[in-house]
Amino acid sequence: MRASSNACGDCDRTDRSAAIEVKRAGVDVKPEIMIPLIGHERELAIMRALVVKAADAALAEAREKIEYTVGTMIELPRACMVADKLAAEADFFSFGTNDLTQTTLGVSRDDAASFLGDYVKRGIYSVDPFVAIDQEGLGQLIRIGVEKGRAHKPDLKIGICGEHGGEPSSVGFCHGLGFDYVSCSPFRVPIARLAAAQAALRDRPSNR
């Protein structure tokens, strides 16, 4: 499992041509285009078709050939429950645990700091669920999503994109589910890499 920084956001014309410019600069680029907030396979199919049409048109106009993949951000509980159907339209999954935590708990991340500390003090949560994955609740949805997705597509690439991707216990949890990568804010990457390495060492056959 590898760790990297993320740069999620809205795409503009410059973003769509970035891969072409990078390739022309001599870099072997393999774009991963991620569609957020998907909850239904038909929704993903429609969006994937739009992405492929736009990407292929840009490549044809530039007379370039670049391999790219199209996946989805898993940010809704429904997406976890129908992950097998989503996998039919996705080359990869990235669990967006910032928003998946919000939609699972029904709690706004913007307001959570004002009361979740009291939840932790009272033992409702052992740790702020926006800091570390709530493995008992949210974690089970993630597990379902991984199992269903790979049941349909065994080689489905799976990762996490969010602040949990730089938190050690969350990285260990993702490693245990067979994630391919964790992605987080740049300043968290060293912690994520260390946590990923520690998880891999713990799972070595000689340590079992």
Angstrom distance (rounded) from CA 36 to CA 140 = 21
E-assigned strand segments in 48-177: 69-74, 92-95, 157-161
CATH code: domain of residue 108: 3.20.20.60
State the pTM of this model. 0.88
Instruction: State pLDDT tens for residues 108-138.
Output: 999 998 999 999 999 999 999 999 999 999 9
Instruction: Return the DSSP state at 167.
Output: S
Indicate the pLDDT class of residue 162, thresholds 50, 70 and 90: confident
Position 153 in a domain: yes
Of 105, 188, 110, 107, which is closest to residue 139 (Cα–Cα)? Answer: 105
The whole-number pLDDT of residue 2 equals: 76
Domains contained in the chain, number = 1
Comparing 131-135, 190-194, 201-205, the range with the smallest average pLDDT is: 201-205
Q: How many helices (H) and strands (E) does the chain have?
A: 10, 6
The whole-number pLDDT of residue 11 equals: 42
Half-sphere exposure (Cβ direction) of 82: Cα atoms closer than 13 Å: 16
Angstrom distance (rounded) from CA 133 to CA 191 = 16
Position 98 in a domain: yes
Provide the residue range defining the domain that includes 113: 2-9+73-207
The whole-number pLDDT of residue 5 equals: 65
Indicate the pLDDT class of residue 1, thresholds 50, 70 and 90: confident
Indicate the pLDDT class of residue 207, thresholds 50, 70 and 90: low
Position 68 in a domain: no
Position 162 in a domain: yes
Angstrom distance (rounded) from CA 90 to CA 189 = 26
In degrees, to the nearest 5, what angle opens at C-alpha 73 toward C-alphas 62 and 127?
140
Describe the strand order of the beta sheet including 32-35 as a list of residue ranges: 2-5, 181-184, 157-161, 92-95, 69-74, 32-35
Position 125 in a domain: yes
